[in-house]
Amino acid sequence: MAAITRLVKRTTTPFYSLARGFSSTNTHAPPSQNRNIQWVFLGCPGVGKGTYASRLCKFLGVPHIATGDLVRHELSSNGPLSSQLSEIVNQGQLVSDEIIMNLLSKRLADGQAKGESGFILDGFPRTIKQAEILEGVTDIDLVVNLKLREEALLAKCLGRRTCSQCGGNFNIASIDIKGENGAPGMSMAPLLPPEHCMSKLITRADDTELVVKERLRIYNELSQPVEGFYRSRGKLLEFELPGGIPESWPKLLQALNLDDYEEKQSAAA
């Protein structure tokens, strides 16, 4: 766990264009020094990448960059890519590497202009090609691979709700998997919205049963190999979610050696 402690050390880095990495063959990042953490969250649709990545980002003070959010933002902007994107996303397919690299580069450049440093990437890379491009332009310190019992994934996607006013993310699914054949049971309480959000809840267009099943299939085919890519580089931390947020969050902090992070920060100050 010493390596992970080292990664958590605060540092700052310049950003550079990821799109350059897409179009050029040999664009390497300058050696990173004094930079903030650069982590990636991997995992199947519905596993909770967004929930845990955004919590960790608040905790560590780094930006949470979810390529799914960038895609949805582009979709709702009614720009030139909107209709093409909506067809792809609503069928559960992956957007082209080129479009994703452009959206991500722009997000990183905007962040750089605002003085952001470091990130947790959520939903990227999703293909080996994307992982190779990322590796060509910067060093990723750590990749957290979130895992959840397969029976819970579909229910979690179908239970997902967002408040159209405050943007809060909730989940109305109540998961109770019985222990069977030696495997332990698992329960996850719903994450219910407050009363004032109730009438404003929306469901993602790609969170239907048919589309979620297709997204899970695509994950297994194209994104799961990314786990092996990082495992072979010694960067993968596997984390099996033991239940809902109350059980999982403290265990995740422990696995990341962050359970006494605030104490360590003040001791180092």
Binding site for ligand AMP (CB under 6 A): 45, 67-68, 71, 88-89, 92-95, 100, 123-124, 126, 130, 206, 215
Which one, 8 or 42, has the nearer CB to ligand AMP?
42
Q: Compute the least distance from the CB of residue 99 to ligand AMP, in Å.
A: 8
Distance set, CA 3 to CA 36, 210, 236 (Å) = 15, 41, 12
CB-CB contact of 101 with 22 (8 Å): yes
Q: Compute the least distance from the CB of residue 234 to ligand AMP, in Å.
A: 23
Which one, 176 or 221, has the nearer CB to ligand AMP?
221
For residues 97 and 129, give the distance between their C-alpha atoms in angstroms, rounded to a whole number: 8
**What tokens does 253 get?**
């902090």
Which one, 21 or 92, has the nearer CB to ligand AMP?
92
Q: Compute the least distance from the CB of residue 87 to ligand AMP, in Å.
A: 10
* Beta-bridge mates of residue 122: 41, 66
Q: Compute the least distance from the CB of residue 130 to ligand AMP, in Å.
A: 6
Which one, 8 or 144, has the nearer CB to ligand AMP?
144
**What tokens does 174 get?**
């109540």
Nearest to 94 by CA among 49, 65, 127: 127
For residues 90 and 79, give the distance between their C-alpha atoms in angstroms, rounded to a whole number: 17
